[in-house]
Structure formats: C-alpha cells, structure tokens
Amino acid sequence: KNQVEQSPQSLIILEGKNCTLQCNYTVSPFSNLRWYKQDTGRGPVSLTIMTFSENTKSNGRYTATLDADTKQSSLHITASQLSDSASYICVVRTGGFKTIFGAGTRLFVKA
Amino acid sequence: DVKVTQSSRYLVKRTGEKVFLECVQDMDHENMFWYRQDPGLGLRLIYFSYDVKMKEKGDIPEGYSVSREKKERFSLILESASTNQTSMYLCASSQRERLETQYFGPGTRLLVL
C-alpha cells in the first residue's frame, strides 16, 4: 500500500534553534518528493521538490534531503524563526495522476 | 504570481443542504483538484479534472460531485451535506504534466450542523 508517514506529529522548539522533520514513504513507483509549508488557515505552499537522483536541495534556511534507497526524506530548518510556525507536509508522486500526502508535522516556534 | 481563489473562507450549512464550493485559477492550468483536509489525516483527494468537462474520482469521492464547464473554474458540490463533511476544503491547480507542482487556494472551512 502506498503510504507517506511523517514524524513527529508535532514539535515545539525555541526561536533560533534547528530542527529536523522526517518523512518515510512506501510509494512505488517513485517519481518525486515535495515538501510544502502550510500556515494556519492557508493553503500549502511549495518549499522544495526532489527527484530520484537528488540527495539534497536547499531553499533559504530549509534543506531537504532524500535517500531513495531507504525511502526517507528529511526537512531541516536552520535558525528557526517565529514565522516558521506552520504545518509541514511531505508529498510523494507516483506514476500517472497519483500524489500521496503525509499527514504533516505541526511545528511551533516559541520566543 | 499564480493565483487560486476559493469562493468562501468560511461556510456554515445545515444537514441536507446543497453546497457549492467554487475555485478559480488564473494561470491557464489544465489540471484542477479538490482535497479535504482533516486533522491527522492529511490531504485526501476527492476529485480532479485534467480538462474542461473531464473529471476523475480521487480517493474519497462519495457524497461529492464536481463540475468543470470552463478551464479556469472547478466546482465541488455536496448534494446533501452531512455532518461528516465538516472539514477544510482545498482547491489546487497545476500544469498538465507538472502534477507535483500544485498551487493551492486558501481553503474553505465548512461546518455542517
């Protein structure tokens, strides 16, 4: 069964600290993996996208990694800011029209 | 900038009412999607459309229908709203071959009483 699992479900960190969010998938065939950020009350906005051959991709303070062998991805946030408080959603595309969404990790950044 | 708009941010309806959720995109995208988002379940695909008048069922189409009469507009219809359809509804669009690059609207939070 195609699944995308994210951990932790929620996370609280202090402003300025780093954190890492995890995404494990059992999707086949694999096409690409994308991380979205969703602010409260808003639609998701894309952060990064990675294909099978890409191991790391950065977008400012966000760095995503992909290990296609172990089917794991992580999103690392450096020097967190209050505005990083949001849900982070991992999405994997298989063949055709199928995209599978993880349930998300809810991040709270405290001053 | 890509813009996807949804007709309402918040909606309160009664059980049995017919509900229309409208979505409009301004980027001439071929694909449009309707999702619902519930805590702990992530986004689940209800229906999608890859062209005008074309539609495909997603993972949870029961209790919903859709309409795409124009390329820029994709409507989600709840024929007879039920309390278990209380949820956040998100519309998205993408270019034909770029399914992974979906642009989302702000969402409609629907409460069915």
Please write the tens of the pLDDT for every residue from A64-97: 999 999 999 999 999 999 999 999 999 998 877 6
Assess whether pLDDT exceeds 70 at residue B1. no
A72 vs A2: which has the higher pLDDT: A72
When the pLDDT of each residue in chain B is averaged and rounded to a whole number, the result is 93
Lowest mean pLDDT segment, chosen from A40-49, A53-62, A92-101 = A92-101
The whole-angstrom separation of Cα B34 and Cα B49 is 9
Distances (CA, A) of A19 to A13, A65, A102: 8, 13, 18
Separation in Å, CA of A111 to nearest CA in chain B: 26
CB nearest to A101's CB, from B43, B101, B105: B43
Whether chain A has a CB inside 8 Å of the CB on B102: the answer is yes
What would the mean pLDDT of B21-37 be, rounded to a whole number? 95
B105 at interface of A, judged by CB pairs closer than 8 A: yes
Q: How confident is the model at residue A10 (pLDDT cuts 50, 70, 90)?
A: very high
Identify all chain B residues contacting A4, using CB atoms and an 8 Å cutoff. Answer: 42
Partner A contacted by B4 (CB < 8 A): yes
In this prediction, residue A29 has a pLDDT band, given cuts at 50, 70 and 90, of confident
Query: For residues B96 and B30, is the Cβ–Cβ distance under 8 A?
Result: yes
Q: Does B2 contact A at CB distance below 8 Å?
A: no
What's the average model confidence in pLDDT over A39-45? 89
Higher pLDDT, B14 or A41: B14
Q: Establish how many alpha carbons lie within 13 A of residue B99's alpha carbon, considering only the half-sphere containing its beta carbon.
A: 19
Structure tokens at A40: 């409260």
Q: Is the pLDDT of residue B2 over 70?
A: no
DSSP A80-97: --GGG-EEEEEEEE-STT
Q: List residues of chain A with CB under 8 Å from any CB of chain B.
A: 4, 9, 31-32, 34, 41-46, 49, 89, 91, 93, 97, 99, 101-104
* Closest to B36 measured CA to CA, from A43, A110, A86: A43
For residue B85, give the 3-state DSSP assignment.
Answer: helix
B41 touches chain A (CB under 8 A): yes
Model pLDDT for residues B49-97, shown as the tens digit of each residue:
999 989 989 889 999 999 999 999 999 999 999 999 999 999 999 988 7
